[in-house]
A and B are shown apart, each in its own frame.
Chain A
Amino acid sequence: MSSQRFDQARPFVTLGVVVAVWLVLPTIVKSFVRVSFFELEAPVEVAASYARDLQEYWSLRLHSNSELIEAGRDLARLNAAYELRIQENAALRGEVERLESLMRLPTFIDFRSEPARVVRRDFSGWWQRLIIRKGRNFQIAVGSPVVFTGGVVGRIVEVHAYTSVVELISSPNVRLAAVIEGDDRPISYQGGDNRSFAPPQGVANFVPLEIVATPNLPRRLVTSGFGGVFPPGFTIGYLVNTPRSDDGLFKVGEVELDPRLSSITEVTVLVPLNPE
């Protein structure tokens, strides 16, 4: 009888011994094992990503010349508008530097833009992460903000040899300091539950009572610049609902994020030029 009980417990005893050994192992060993497994998986993911790019290239080759000419013409118009914006931006930067030197103000952190293709999306109910195709080989740093044309994507949480992991702003593990556009009172933003077949969402806490937002009149939520991670003014999402919180002192806001966040194929990493 006792031998039968021991036979039943044997798998769990073995597992217990393995877990005990694992707990006692130094952190450096565990980190090394984790990195090793990640780098073992990385070539498979990157190869699949290159195969997708190749597939996209050949599908574009099937387009007729007239379609490509039209697309090129539309892009040329967009490029011309961006060129004008860049020139205005350069003039404004010069003005800011002149004022900073006149009033002896500290300069904001400058960033280097590093575009990167998305290798894999990992959007479960518990986390929302992207793997991008640049890592230490492009001097990507942990904590660097990641953006795209629609605003903030997230931040770099892991950097490996030639890939990096981005945690999206729709992930429940991400918190940002934000402000409503036109208001400078700080708000806490956190990624929320991402329901199936629905756009990504987040939650805004400590919304002032005077702020009112509805689906017909949404309020734009932008980065505040507090904390020095994200530059100020980048779009996070739109506040579409502001019910009162349980304590009645603030409101809780429902934030709708850009639906393109779920199908991103390319992002830009803002690598700080002078990391502190």
Chain B
Amino acid sequence: MLLIESSPAQSQRFSTLNFPPSALRHPPSVIRHPSTALHSLNFPLSAFRFPLFSVRRILALFFSALLLWSLIAIVNHYVAPWHVYLFVGGLFVTCVALQMPLRAGLYASLLAGLLCDAGAGTRFGLHAVLFGLAHGVVFNLRGRLDRDSTIVQVVVALFANLALFLGLSLTQIGALPVPGAAWLRLLWDLLWSQLALVVIAPWYFAVQRRALVLADPLTTFLERREAE
């Protein structure tokens, strides 16, 4: 249940939705969500510095990342006989970095990285660090982009995927017996990965948006109204 407490001036402003954009990205204090209402029970939520609705959004993004990871793993299983490998790390990071607040989005990206790390043949935490770096770069650039446009999101995802693929290759290339001979295989993998990313990106962004609506409909609604 949602309680809205405000002064007359504030409620008038709220009804016309003339809030500055930054206030809507971080819901105004006049809106008391059930989690913050727990303050009345003297529960030390502030110690965690994470409202419950933010945790729900992170979990929603995590499970959508798990879905994407599972589907890509199945596709990679079927294309393995041809020695083709799809890498779509950019998809895990893009929408989260463009839409979410910094901390929640970064944690979602790091969790997605740990998900990729668990089944990969790399040092545990490598994907997470790379995803975190990509998240930081995209987050810094998002002020200059039309981040609600699907085409812009797909283009950002392509560049993020390219950077992540190159980063991962640089860290792993030393283990190959003939590093210079691997470039052709990596090039093919990158090509197929980018093609696959262009095809599935709009679908995955829609899945993430739907997951966020299910996890926290109010914040998502406010963000959508502000974007309109």
Contact = CB atoms under 8 A, between A and B. Distances in A.
Contacts of A203: 177-178
Contact of A41 (B115, B125, B128): B115
Contacts of A120: 73-74, 76-77
B6 interface: no
Interface in A1-58: 8, 10-12, 14-15, 18-19, 22, 30, 33-34, 37-38, 40-41, 44-45, 48
Contact of B189 (A124, A127, A173, A190): A124
Nearest to A194: B83
A263 B81 CA distance: 5
Contacts of B83: 123, 194-198, 200, 262
A135 interface: no
A125 B121 contact: no
Nearest to A170: B83
A22 to B, nearest CB: 6
Given A15-B132, A193-B178, A193-B185, 14 more contacts: A11-B135, A12-B133, A15-B106, A18-B110, A19-B129, A37-B114, A121-B76, A126-B176, A127-B121, A172-B177, A190-B177, A192-B181, A193-B181, A203-B178
A45 B72 CA distance: 11
A256 interface: no
Given A48-B74, A195-B184, A263-B81, A126 B132 contact: no
Given A120-B77, A196-B189, A203-B177, A38 B119 contact: yes
A171 interface: yes
Contacts of B178: 192-193, 203
Contact of B185 (A22, A122, A131, A195): A195
Contact of B119 (A122, A192, A196): A122
Contacts of A251: none
Contacts of B175: 126, 172-173
Nearest to B114: A37
A190 B188 CA distance: 23
A41 B70 contact: yes
A34 B87 contact: no
A37 B117 contact: yes
Interface string A198-216: 1010010000000000000
A40 B66 contact: yes
Contacts of B92: none
Contact of B182 (A10, A125, A131): A125
A108 B132 CA distance: 50
B118 interface: yes
Nearest to B129: A19
B185 A171 contact: no
A156 to B, nearest CB: 14
Contacts of A190: 177
A191 B128 CA distance: 27
B152 interface: no
B76 A167 contact: no
A37 B115 contact: yes
Contacts of B76: 120-123
A155 interface: no
A128 B76 CA distance: 12
A203 B176 CA distance: 11
A126 B120 CA distance: 10
